[in-house]
């Protein structure tokens, strides 16, 4: 079996045997504690390793997301934040324990990372930097060792990498979010806190843009996995649910809804495939990325609709898919902000 095949099989088994039984607890985070086995299990699968290749990561994320997207979001965020540090040349930083050190990396992956309007401000004070303000919705922060955050640097942009245990770093309570509820996020605050200047890893937002481009395929894999589970549940329900004198799958309108969901799933897979290739023009890659995430979010709303009242209840998983897919649409920021860039990417 190929490396990819082996990874797919082992992730599937982990998702089925470890993640699936804890889905309810994951779904109720932070009202309930995180199930203990998830993060160590992801680590044992090698999903937090620096060496994992992006196509393999994408396959793993899709398989995980078919069962629960929250662990996949945690893995994606870690890999992305770590890549940001490496790209910014901070991989050798002893202060960060090096990239090979243990522990999770966190970052505000749902924001436009190349912009820093609501980021903490940075001021240079001699050989130190001073941070003030709050980084909002930092994904992975409650569990992370390393926090990778955009900052406002005298009107410009900066990227800092900090150990979450450093004095001056305050990680807030885990936040309740629309979706991906078992992937803990928190605000990270600073009150004129000073750090050594080497915590400032980069000052050009191009770093964030380059890394986000590379990770689009992995992000779309999560949308594809979530939608895939929604289509499967909708199909099964439509075959079994009796209404109007027969199985609802026999109703033309139900078939039309299911058909549209499959069209969108195909679109997600095509986007994944496109984004795994080298040399794809930027406008095509970005267009596929935006379209796939957006369609998955809409299609999972239809997944709820197809199950009617049952779809709205937690038991069938459709409501979770709807929330997760909508949240996944925000990986690397808003669709409409990215569209502005797309218009500028025309060859």
Q: List residues near other proteins by CB under 8 A.
A: 28, 31, 108, 110-112, 115, 117-118, 136-137, 175-179, 228, 231-232, 235, 242-246, 250-255, 262, 265, 297-298, 301, 304-305, 308-315, 319, 322-323, 326-327, 330, 333-337, 339-340
Shortest reach from residue 128's CB to other proteins, in Å: 26
**Smaller CB separation from other proteins, 78 or 323:** 323
| H/E run at residue 159 | strand 156-163
Question: Are 201 and 89 contacting, i.e. CB atoms less than 8 angstroms apart?
Answer: yes
Q: Which is nearer to other proteins, 48 or 80 (CB)?
A: 80
Distance CA 84, CA 210 (A): 9
Contact 177, 327 (CB under 8 A): yes
Smallest gap from Cβ 100 to other proteins, in A, equals 30
State the nearest-atom distance from the C-beta of 251 to other proteins, in Å: 5
**Nearest residue (CB) to other proteins, 95 versus 345:** 345
Q: CB of residue 211 vs other proteins: minimum separation in angstroms?
A: 17
Identity of the residue, 126 or 155, whose beta carbon is nearer to other proteins in the bound complex: 155
Cis preceding linkage at 30, omega within 30: yes
Residues 245, 255: Cα–Cα separation, whole Å: 16
Q: What letter does residue 249 receive in the DSSP assignment?
A: G
Do the beta carbons of residue 56 and residue 50 sit within 8 Å? no
d(CA 149, CA 159): 6
**β-bridge partners, 106:** 147
Nearest to other proteins of 96, 138 (CB atom): 138
- Closest approach, Cβ 289 to other proteins, in A, equals 16
Q: Are 197 and 221 in contact (CB under 8 A)?
A: no
- Residue 336 C-beta: closest distance to other proteins, Å: 5
Q: Which is nearer to other proteins, 93 or 136 (CB)?
A: 136
Q: 226 is written with which tokens? A: 């979530």
The label of the residue with tokens 């549940």 reads 233
- Of 163 and 302, nearer to other proteins (C-beta) is 302
Give least dist CB 118 to other proteins, A: 7
Residue written as token pair 């490496």: 86
């Amino acid at each position: 079996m190929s490396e990819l095949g082996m990874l797919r099989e082992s992730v599937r088994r982990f998702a089925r045997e470890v993640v699936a039984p804890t889905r309810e607890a994951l779904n109720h985070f932070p009202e309930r504690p995180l199930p203990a086995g998830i993060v160590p299990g992801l680590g044992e699968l090698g999903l937090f390793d620096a060496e994992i290749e992006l196509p393999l990561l994408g396959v793993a994320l899709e398989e995980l997301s078919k069962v629960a997207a929250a662990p996949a979001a945690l893995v994606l965020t870690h890999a992305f934040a770590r890549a940001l540090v490496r790209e910014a040349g901070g991989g050798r930083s002893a202060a960060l324990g090096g990239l090979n050190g243990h522990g999770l990396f966190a970052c505000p992956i749902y924001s436009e990372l190349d912009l820093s309007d609501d980021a903490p401000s940075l001021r240079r004070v001699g050989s130190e930097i001073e941070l003030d303000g709050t980084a909002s919705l930092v994904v992975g922060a409650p569990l992370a060792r390393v926090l990778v955050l955009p900052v406002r640097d005298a009107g410009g942009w900066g990227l800092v990498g900090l150990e979450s245990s450093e004095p001056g770093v305050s990680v807030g309570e885990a936040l309740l979010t629309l979706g991906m509820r078992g992937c803990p996020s928190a605000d990270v605050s600073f009150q004129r806190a000073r750090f050594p200047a080497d915590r400032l890893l980069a000052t050009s937002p191009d770093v964030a843009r380059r890394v986000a481009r590379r990770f689009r395929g992995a992000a779309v894999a999560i949308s594809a996995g979530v939608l895939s589970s929604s289509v499967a549940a909708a199909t099964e329900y439509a075959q079994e649910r009796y209404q109007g004198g027969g199985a609802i799958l026999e109703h033309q309108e139900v078939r039309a809804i299911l058909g549209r969901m499959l069209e969108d799933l195909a679109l997600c897979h095509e986007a994944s495939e496109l984004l795994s290739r080298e040399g794809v023009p930027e406008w095509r890659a970005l267009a596929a990325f935006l379209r796939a995430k957006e369609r998955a979010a809409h299609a999972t709303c239809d997944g709820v609709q197809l199950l009617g009242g049952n779809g709205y209840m937690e038991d069938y998983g459709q409501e979770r898919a709807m929330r997760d897919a909508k949240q996944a649409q925000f990986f690397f920021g808003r669709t409409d902000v990215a569209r502005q860039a797309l218009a500028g990417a025309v060859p």
